[in-house]
Structure 1
Amino acid sequence: MSEAPPQDIANPQMSLTTKEGWRAFVDENPDPPPSLPSGTVLDEGELESYREARIDYHTRSVIVNTPTIRGVVTTGRKRIVLNRHQVSARRGLIVSGLAGTGKTTAITQLGKNVEQITRRRSPNAVGGLPVVFVTVPPAATPKMLAGEFARFLGIPLEHRMSQVQITNAVCDLLGKLGTTLVLVDEIHNLDLTTRNGAEASDQLKYLSERIAATFVLAGLDVETSSLFQGTRGQQIAGRYTVIPSRPFGHRIRADKESWQALVVTMENSLRRHAHRPGTLVAMADYLHERTGGLIGSLSQLIREAAVDAIDSGTEKITKRMLDEIELDHAVQKTRPDRPRVKYARRPKAA
């Protein structure tokens, strides 16, 4: 019996919309399960432990440095610097695009990068909170939006607290904690054509004035929503730069090379014993047709196939296995009956 391979199967990740969950996300840097040397013998318990460690590893999304992430991180850090001495009308970012194009991943990677840099610059600082992450609830009211900030901070909300009291408590605490970046996801839930949506938009603008931080928003197709309409919309449009988050193209050579690089990164992250390097790259055209170039759908497809390969004991991903995986409805409805693309087969080794 050999020594069991090391493992570190974390508990389910806490919500990013609490400071504890956010800090856990920033601290997270999971190592892949080690590869077992040829001839390693494990008993039944060790084998099951190793199997579960690999499954847990494949349930984690692989972070790929996509053009969207690079653009958001680079531009976001510039905005933070430019806003350093601004007392009002600070400039922000809006990441806008279809579902599954990596908007939330992009803004959270910006936040993670900013917080890690802040920690390195001030290693002895205690109690600061460089980054805040909240989501806009559906049909949000001004009080609900302020409540999301309070929930992130862990501010106890008494039943009779007014919107003004909650807002003041949030702004005062964030000022003391030195927050420099506020991330707001699901911004499309602000419907400026409704009274609640318009008032919640005003609340967000007020918070951006009271809190000396750069605001970065993300949402579905924000450019075509009501967010930029009317007087309120003009104010938002005048302060925020929109960074589009698009599906990967596949028409010109540069697009195909970018897509292949994405597939290569995801393939290299896999931990399966019978996998032949280059298998997924050879299916790059098929994978694009299957996912519509959406990074979220590609991640689901590859990770689910990897888990299936471990569970079934085959330890390899095949096209038949990929064909059997059901993807999200957004991808399925745009390609209901299209013929599958044939992919290049790897030549057999001599």
Structure 2
Amino acid sequence: MTKDDEHTAATLARLMTGGPPPVRETLSGWEQWRTARAEFTPAPQMDLATWRVLSPRERLLHDLHRAATHSNLPVLQTPMTRKVARRLTARLKTNWLKQKPTTRAGIMITGGGAQGKTETVCEIIATFQDDWQRLGRLMAPGMPGTRDVTAPVAYVQTPVTAKPKSTCKAILSFYDAPVASRMDLPDLVRQVAASLHDHGTRVLVLDDITRLRMHRADDQDTLDLIRAFMSMHVTLVLIGVDIPSSGLLREGRFDTQRGQVAFPAPKSAKVFGLESTQTERRFDLVELDRFHYGTPVQISAWAEHLAGVEHCLRLLKAPTGMLTGGAMPEYLYRRTNGVVGLLERLIEDGCEEAIDTGTECLTETLLDGINIDITDDPHRDHQAGEVPRVPERETAGQHRRARNSSFDDRGPAAADTGS
């Protein structure tokens, strides 16, 4: 057995015997994911001739490793994610260094369904936490008389039917904090405040915040409670689908020049017992947009992203420019509307089909047979807009719009025309 073969076997053993993926909604799960998120090693590049000389066992191992590679494609940077990273990192840094007992401004990350908001934000925050943890003694130590465990970041999923009590319990569940069955709301809020303080939490991420429906009284109270958390000296990071249209900003004043939304103090302040002033709560509003395909700059960005995806694939007959040559960029855009989550699903399923059929290459004909379906994902709330519209597949013989030829090289003859 070669060293590469041993390494492949070890990688697959970790994948198959390591148990389910970590659940980021718990402190131990978040730390497990954060510290191990870059450990996966993709399968080595290999052409068909090299694969054919492998033994049957080595072929099986390599094919399994390739399938694992396609199922664990990395989160690639895009112009949109870089914009979010700049704004979010700047807000985290400013608030982390703030010592004044003032309200920390929060940040809202909005965008369409399946556009990678959660993975992008978690990666940015985990990287920020990695950087600060390298500073060692500058991190907050364990508080005397409490658990000697720090949790700079708390990641929480907004309950599907959110109420103030269930939201508090979701946050406490992250810390595995005890919750008495008959605790009333003020007790739960005090328990949340104690957990945030005792664990040195600086960032509280509430994902899928647009599951709140502002026509329901419970949801309005929950949003008031969330805004009140800002007085606990944490940076609130709210992630949601199309936040501007969700009703969450109904009471806010949006400053287009600064990209900020200012909210009045929560109406339920006296009930929650958190407010000492009537200071407005401010949020930066940042959009993680999909790719667009209308200008040369946008087309170039899409092609660059496809090139990055292609570099991660492990198909034995894949030619250079498999995803970026000819009409393929426009085809992929029509199939996905520039949504990275839909592109990932199409490529992932397409690679599986290419390996199973021995095609070992992605073509329009092969991808025409792949149906993108994410409607059965139990982690997505249809009513909150978390499942995007998937463009319809084109059937054989259906008219296709002529491709954009802006970047075609027409050669010297074309250059001489009209001279």
Gaps of 5+ in 1: none
How far apart, in 2, do the equivalents of 1:303 and 1:33 lie? 15
Check the 8 A contact 2:71/2:348 in 1, yes or no.
Answer: yes
Corresponding letter in the other structure for 2:186 = V
In the alignment, structure 1 residue 13 sits paired with structure 2 residue 21: yes
Deviation at residue 180 of structure 1 after TM alignment: 1.7
In the alignment, structure 1 residue 305 sits paired with structure 2 residue 350: yes
Deviation at residue 194 of structure 1 after TM alignment: 1.3
In structure 1, the partner of 2:91 is: 79
In the alignment, structure 1 residue 156 sits paired with structure 2 residue 178: yes
In structure 2, the partner of 1:258 is: 301
Deviation at residue 5 of structure 1 after TM alignment: 4.5
Which range moved further: 179-188 or 86-95? 86-95
Instruction: Give the 3-state SS of the residue equivalent to 1:273 in structure 2.
Output: coil
Instruction: Give the 3-state SS of the residue equivalent to 1:228 in structure 2.
Output: coil
Check the 8 A contact 2:84/2:287 in 1, yes or no.
Answer: no
Aligned alpha-carbon RMSD (Å): 2.8
Deviation at residue 342 of structure 1 after TM alignment: 6.3
Normalising by structure 1, report the TM-score.
Answer: 0.88
How far apart, in 2, do the equivalents of 1:319 and 1:5 lie? 36
How far apart, in 2, do the equivalents of 1:277 and 1:36 lie? 13
In the alignment, structure 1 residue 280 sits paired with structure 2 residue 292: no
How far apart, in 1, do the equivalents of 2:318 and 2:129 lie? 37
Check the 8 A contact 2:26/2:174 in 1, yes or no.
Answer: yes
Q: 1:206 to 1:314 in 2, by over 3 A?
A: same
Deviation at residue 217 of structure 1 after TM alignment: 0.8
Alignment partner of 1:183 out of 205, 217, 221: 205
How far apart, in 1, do the equivalents of 2:360 and 2:392 lie? 31
In structure 2, the partner of 1:57 is: 69
Corresponding letter in the other structure for 2:309 = M
How far apart, in 1, do the equivalents of 2:180 and 2:281 lie? 37
Corresponding letter in the other structure for 1:287 = L
Deviation digits for residues 241-286 of structure 1 (CA, Å, limit 9, x no counterpart): 1111222110110000011111111111111221112011121111
Corresponding letter in the other structure for 2:219 = G
Corresponding letter in the other structure for 1:191 = R
Spell out the pairing of 1:23-62 with structure 2 (5 A cutoff).
23-27=31-35, 28-29=37-38, 30-36=40-46, 39=50, 41-62=53-74
Check the 8 A contact 1:100/1:297 in 2, yes or no.
Answer: yes
In structure 1, the partner of 2:222 is: 200
Check the 8 A contact 1:6/1:33 in 2, yes or no.
Answer: no
How far apart, in 2, do the equivalents of 1:96 and 1:218 lie? 6
**% same residue:** 24
In structure 2, the partner of 1:107 is: 121
Higher helix content, 1 or 2: 1
In structure 2, the partner of 1:315 is: 360
Instruction: Give the 3-state SS of the residue equivalent to 2:332 in structure 1.
Output: helix
Deviation at residue 32 of structure 1 after TM alignment: 1.0
How far apart, in 2, do the equivalents of 1:14 and 1:320 lie? 37
How far apart, in 1, do the equivalents of 2:57 and 2:161 lie? 50
Check the 8 A contact 1:286/1:341 in 2, yes or no.
Answer: no
Normalising by structure 2, report the TM-score.
Answer: 0.75
In structure 1, the partner of 2:372 is: 327
How far apart, in 2, do the equivalents of 1:302 and 1:86 lie? 49
Deviation at residue 294 of structure 1 after TM alignment: 0.8
Deviation at residue 47 of structure 1 after TM alignment: 2.3
Deviation at residue 85 of structure 1 after TM alignment: 2.4
Which range moved further: 148-157 or 118-127? 118-127
Spell out the pairing of 1:98-247 with structure 2 (5 A cutoff).
98-122=112-136, 127-210=149-232, 212-230=233-251, 235=263, 239-247=282-290
Which range moved further: 173-182 or 279-288? 173-182
Q: 1:248 to 1:91 in 2, by over 3 A?
A: same
Check the 8 A contact 1:306/1:316 in 2, yes or no.
Answer: yes
Gaps of 5+ in 2: 142-147, 254-260, 265-279, 376-387, 409-419
Deviation at residue 170 of structure 1 after TM alignment: 2.6
Q: 1:88 to 1:218 in 2, by over 3 A?
A: same
Deviation at residue 96 of structure 1 after TM alignment: 1.2
How far apart, in 2, do the equivalents of 1:305 and 1:93 lie? 37
How far apart, in 1, do the equivalents of 2:73 and 2:46 lie? 23
Deviation at residue 77 of structure 1 after TM alignment: 1.9
